[in-house]
Amino acid sequence: MVVTENSFISATKLSSYLFVRKTGRNFATTLAKKRDSSEASRTQKKPSFPLRVSNTLLAQSAIALFGLGFIDAGYSGDWSRIGVISKESEELLKVAAFVVAPLCLFLVLYFSKNEEA
């Protein structure tokens, strides 16, 4: 017999496709076998975030954030003041920001021109 918290379950009655997993104080049963496609199509939910964003816009945002991170780390002084980076690293980031920031700006503009064409 298998004991799960306050209930007894006979091990012979358990299917080989069921697994018991403890999450916190509660037990959850997980199926190891895939559901039928007809059953899955009925239970599919619509996406909770219906706004679609293009991959180009995501790439532009990531590149811009990367460039701004260099500027922030090099010129704000906050990172070296709290001890995340040293003063020498901050000086190096200031110099690197002169190369990285224009490169990021170029890439963002390049991606926007490719999207228009």
Residue 13 has pLDDT above 60, yes or no: no
SS3 content of the chain, % helix, strand, coil (to 5): 55, 15, 30
- The domain locations on the chain are 2-33, 55-116
Of residues 104 and 42, the one with the higher pLDDT is: 104
Exposed e or buried b for every residue in 31-61, given b needs 16+ CB within 10 A? eeeeeeeeeeeeeeeeeeeeeeeeeeeeebe
Does residue 100 surpass a pLDDT of 90? yes
Residue 27: per-residue pLDDT: 60
More confident residue, 60 or 33: 60
